Amino acid sequence: MKTIDTDYLVVGAGAAGMAFTDALTGEGDADVVMVDRRAAPGGHWHDAYPFVRLHQPSATYGVNSRPLGHDAIDTMGSDVGLYERATAPEICGYYRKVLDEVLLPSGQVRFFGMCDYVGDFAREHVFTSRLTGISTRVRVRRKVVDTTYLEVAVPATHKPAFAIDADVRFMPVGELVHLDAAPSGYTILGGGKTAMDACYWLLENGVEPARIRWIRPRDSWVLPRTCFQPLALVGPTLEAFAQALEILGQAVSVEDLYLQLEAGGLARRFDRTVTPTMFRGAILSAAECDALERIEQVVRLGRIRRLGTDRIVLEHGEIPTDPRQVHVDCTASAFKVNPERAIFDRDRITLQGLVGGFTSFSAATIGFVEATRSDDVEKNRLCVPTRTLDQPSDWIRAYRGMIHTNLMNAADPDMAAWLERTRLNITGGLGRYQDDPRIQAALARIAGLAASAQHNADRLLAS
Ligand SMILES: Cc1cc2nc3c(=O)[nH]c(=O)nc-3n(C[C@H](O)[C@H](O)[C@H](O)COP(=O)(O)OP(=O)(O)OC[C@H]3O[C@@H](n4cnc5c(N)ncnc54)[C@H](O)[C@@H]3O)c2cc1C
């Protein structure tokens, strides 16, 4: 078997692997081998449904060294006045260019597409080409980087966890754009961001809310997009962050926390009579939320067990359906909820989120820390994983991660300089606002509130 040598073997060239590699190689002369079973970098975006967009601005997504999009502010659509968000084709094209125009020309990176990593992330590092069947052994001088720990699943590639009768009209969300005649109605399966996107897309395209039935095993809290705007809109973002820290510092329970967040415009749900049991960090505009609230046929009978031609069996009951009804699968769970593990563990790096979502920023920061520090204890002190967002209390973990990553780490001059200059940090580039009293007031407020918020976050999570 052929053997190649490298400093770092990065398994997976999705958003995480690309941001990590770009930051690592940008800070030094490390040699990197990237392996992905897909033909091109970009990960799950290659399988995304046609109308998907980032839910955060493009301005803070991708790799640090190259902008994604033009930092334009939308003038039409659901996000008027907010920073543009890339579509899946834009994201895939962007990563291809990053590979071809940045990483490969650096001479530091080799990319092996259509190859399965079949090693053990410990001693044995082997990948096999899906095209030739030939295996290659990799001798890793420094570290193997696992970007696959959280395993993203999307509707196009996942297998539904319920039985489906043969003649049911069932389709992954991406197939909606191929409909050639109006069905009797739309039954949307799933309560997450994909289902929200599917419902919104139907409404935006003129489908009456009454023709949409939404099977939501769990209701979800969502975050307003106005609270996560960078660059020229960073002032309101900082004010929202300060307000969130104030609420986090005072909340007496998770329920109390959300009631205060909702009252303050920092969290939203689609039905005020239902207490959500899910929080996955979905970020929506007010226009999207207003539209989704118009859907009144919401089925809350738990998970689907069987999709039949004339009835749907759920955990807690049954509902009728009909053969002309389209059933849209949005039940893929985007991330596996794996327990956090140390990001730096001797000769292995396991990429995970630092701030709850914001994959690019987290992975690039880990790459920066790997390139600029030598001691694992120090690296793990700077990069603390925040587990995959799933339940309402995970909002607290996400904000605790933001306090740690953006505020506590800024005590280190080197980290402060990185946080200031990386385009992936929503609150980066604040140096240019030194004369802006509104921003300075928000920053002073944040500094004053961080310790009590952190303290109460620990208390709430412990209880
Ligand atoms: C609809 C949707 C919208 C989203 N919007 C945002 C957003 O706005 N902001 C945000 O931060 N996040 C968003 N996310 C989260 C998103 O998943 C991350 O931004 C990011 O794309 C995840 O990248 P990844 O590299 O972790 O995983 P992936 O994209 O899954 O990449 C992992 C790669 O590893 C490869 N791989 C796995 N196993 C092997 C193996 N054994 N051998 C070889 N290759 C392997 C896979 O082929 C894949 O290319 C969104 C997710 C979804 C589903």
Q: Is residue 390 part of a domain?
A: yes
23: its two tokens: 């930051």
Q: Which atom of ligand 1 is nearest to the CA of 127?
A: 42
Q: Please tell me if the CB atom of residue 94 comes closer than 6 angstroms to any atom of ligand 1.
A: no
pLDDT digits (tens, 9 = 90+) for 23-61: 999 999 999 999 999 999 999 999 999 999 999 999 999
Please give the Cα distance from 268 to 391 (Å, whole number).
Answer: 15
Residues 292 and 387 in one domain: no
Q: Please tell me if the CB atom of residue 147 comes closer than 6 angstroms to any atom of ligand 1.
A: yes
Q: Is residue 439 part of a domain?
A: no
Please give the Cα distance from 259 to 456 (Å, whole number).
Answer: 16
Place of tokens 């239902």: 274
Q: Is residue 462 part of a domain?
A: no
SS3 at position 45:
helix
Q: Please tell me if the CB atom of residue 56 comes closer than 6 angstroms to any atom of ligand 1.
A: yes
Q: Is residue 105 part of a domain?
A: yes
Q: Please tell me if the CB atom of residue 362 comes closer than 6 angstroms to any atom of ligand 1.
A: no
Please give the Cα distance from 292 to 309 (Å, whole number).
Answer: 27
pLDDT digits (tens, 9 = 90+) for 141-182: 999 999 999 876 666 667 898 999 999 999 999 999 999 999
* Ligand 1 geometric centre to CA of 150 (Å): 9
Q: Which of 1, 457, 8, 5 is nearest to 248 (CA)?
A: 457
Q: Please tell me if the CB atom of residue 257 comes closer than 6 angstroms to any atom of ligand 1.
A: no
Contact 399, 249 (CB under 8 A): no
Domain that holds residue 400: 2-152+335-411
Domain boundary among 329, 348, 372: 329
Residues 217 and 192 in one domain: yes
Q: Please tell me if the CB atom of residue 281 comes closer than 6 angstroms to any atom of ligand 1.
A: no
Q: How many domains does the chain have?
A: 2
DSSP 112-131: E-SEEE-S-SSS--EEEETT
Q: Is residue 431 part of a domain?
A: no
**pLDDT value of residue 156:** 64
Q: Which of 70, 244, 38 is nearest to 154 (CA)?
A: 38
Please give the Cα distance from 38 to 370 (Å, whole number).
Answer: 26
Residues 394 and 348 in one domain: yes
Residues 403 and 263 in one domain: no
- Kindly report the CATH number assigned to the domain that includes residue 378: 3.40.50.720
- Kindly report the CATH number assigned to the domain that includes residue 167: 3.50.50
Q: Which atom of ligand 1 is nearest to the CA of 151?
A: 30
Q: Is residue 440 part of a domain?
A: no
Mutate to test the pocket of ligand 1, among 21, 53, 55 (most ligand atoms within 8 A of CB): 55
Q: Which of 234, 242, 263 is nearest to 431 (CA)?
A: 234
pLDDT digits (tens, 9 = 90+) for 387-433: 889 999 999 999 999 999 999 899 999 999 999 999 999 999 999 99
**pLDDT value of residue 170:** 96
